[in-house]
Structure 1
Amino acid sequence: MVEVFTEENKKMYLEYLKVNEEKFFSKRILTAVIFAIAYTVIIMMIDNPWYLIGIPFIMVFGYKIPYIELISFKKRSEILNQYMFPNFLGYFVALLDTQGNVYQTLKATTQYINDPLKSEVENLINKLEENNVDNRDAFLEFAEYIGSSEAHMIMNLIYDFTEEGINKNDLIELESMISKLQENKTNEYIRYSASSMDKHGTPMLIYGMLYVFIFSALALTGYASSLL
């Protein structure tokens, strides 16, 4: 809840989700204006101008909604990436024999995976093509994007493949790590799906109920005033 008011991680969320800051700001302003207009229309219907003092609060509420959505999208994207990562690795290992090297295998996997992970894999490929970028850093940045300790270990191992070649023992180790990761992440995703409504839907539910309550109270007050 504090995060909604401070917005201390806004820049990080925008960068992670690749959202244009200017467009995001425009969306916030538009949402605030729409809420203000809707509120004003209701005030005009109940014919009580005193309630116009609530417009700034309603606009702030509308202004915050896109940021609440941003937090929700960030969390959902993180969960999706961690769930899709083992599938990507499965394709990587399956294609490694036919493609011959890590770079070609990474390129081949992109036709089997979807966004948001696909965009980041393509970003990794682009970095590997640049001479001024250290390959290890590129792999570690990708692991950082996935955001798990397993990702760091696996991407380190894949980086070693690019430098030292692929040997049977390392490949067996990689397959074992992927198999364990797939099992763990599948179980985590099931638990997340079961609890996500309670964990992330509650704030939006509270805001929605508050919104309905305020407008209902105003409408009832206006109706009661008209009877007197």
Structure 2
Amino acid sequence: MIDLKLVIFDVDGTLVDSQADILEAMRTAFAAIDRPAPSREAVLGIVGLSLPQAMGQLVPDATGAEHARLVETYKDRYAALRRTGGPGSSPLYPGMSGLVQALHASDNVLLGIATGKSRRGLDALMDSLGLRRFFVTTQVADDHPSKPHPSMILTALAEAGVEPADAIMVGDTTFDIDMARAARVRAIGVEWGYHDAASLTGADRVVADALALGSAITEMLEIAP
């Protein structure tokens, strides 16, 4: 019987540098309710949360109707950007394409995603980058409470048939690390994302590039070369 392992990736700030699309979609959303867009730092600070929770943090004084319009306008604009922007507007971070392919080629390694994106947003991004075929389980904000609730990871484990001890969560934010802890899964933080690496203190490892990430995954999950 094969001893299956599961590597779960966050998307924005971990696999993909999507900040240009995120910032543009956020500017459009705030213009729709005649409010100034938040700063880049504020927007990137909430990346990873589900959109309703993210908007609530950015503008806690907005009405329910305003929050709803922010969410829907953001989704529409982001989807439009994905249709027209191509892979260049939300590129994979250096080395991540090769790492995903190498892990996928391992006989006992399964790959998953846990993201604050909607299903529509994730599918558009994955299709534009040609990534969909590599992942056996993809968990999105439409179906779960926002990170750091462990629901996404627990569902990914169940769908993959893997125990928590045989899984790793890879992410760039404190939301990812806290979610992994809540699900009793080990976590690797990446330095190239949207939260300061110094804030990822709860991670089992923090790595600086894709090569180091691959080595950490291989060692922690005891994957044969």
Could you say whether these structures have the same fold, taking a TM-score greater than 0.5 normalized by the shorter chain as the test?
A: no
Query: Where is the helix percentage greater, Structure 1 or Structure 2?
Result: 1
Query: Where is the strand percentage greater, Structure 1 or Structure 2?
Result: 2
Q: Which has the larger radius of gyration?
A: 1
| TM-score, normalised by the number of residues in structure 1 | 0.29
| TM-score, normalised by the number of residues in structure 2 | 0.30
